[in-house]
Structure 1
Amino acid sequence: MRCKLPATASRTNGALLLALERAEAARGICAAQMGAVADCQEDAERVQAKKP
């Protein structure tokens, strides 16, 4: 799973602030996705470890 940050070409301070807010939101979504992937991998490893 790859995370994508929104492209930007800000020309004003307001546009730059909006771009920053969008990038921060995208990073938060990405972190949540990576956390879910890590949890899934850990669960799979636990299941494999319990198999005889």
Structure 2
Amino acid sequence: MKPNTGKITGVSGNMVTVSFDGNIMQNEVAYIIEGNERLKAEVVRIGDGIA
């Protein structure tokens, strides 16, 4: 199974918005990777290729 990837499009407080290709599900666990940092996240809302 190939992992889904996306691109960070915005940050507001503790909420991160990403654009993505592929399929994701609400409440799915995700990881935001920036450099050597890996932050655990949860998909809260999905709409038109943006979560």
Instruction: Calculate the TM-score normalised by the size of structure 1.
Output: 0.21
Q: Which has the higher contact order (CA 8 A, sep 6+)?
A: 1
Rg larger for: 1
Instruction: Calculate the TM-score normalised by the size of structure 2.
Output: 0.21
- Point out the structure with the larger strand share: 2
- Point out the structure with the larger helix share: 1
